[in-house]
């Protein structure tokens, strides 16, 4: 009977650890969900660097 009691205590401790981790995860998720997600803004800026476009310039090495 002592062995079954220790198994129950181990299972109870494991459940307690799971509960504590779940509570910590819930607190973490609630902190991060309070921040702004920036989902209401538009997409990326289409031309961040002006008229550079696809024009590439190659120069030969002199010398």
Q: Name the pLDDT band for 60 (thresholds 50, 70, 90).
A: confident
The DSSP line for the chain is -HHHHHHHHHHHHHHHHHHHHHHHHHHHHHHHHTS----SS----S-TTGGGTT-----PPP-
Give the pLDDT score at 7. 74
Give the pLDDT score at 13. 85
Q: Is the pTM of this model over 0.75?
A: no
Residue recorded with tokens 């401790």: 13
In the chain, where are the structural domains located? 1-30
* Structure confidence by residue, pLDDT tens digits, 1-55: 556 677 777 788 889 999 999 999 999 888 876 656 566 666 666 666 666 567 7
């Amino acid at each position: 009977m002592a062995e079954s009691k220790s198994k129950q205590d181990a299972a109870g401790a494991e459940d307690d650890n799971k509960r504590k981790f779940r509570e910590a995860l819930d607190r973490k998720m609630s902190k991060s969900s309070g921040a702004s997600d920036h989902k209401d803004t538009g997409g990326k800026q289409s031309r961040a660097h002006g008229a550079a476009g696809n024009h590439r310039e190659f120069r030969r090495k002199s010398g």
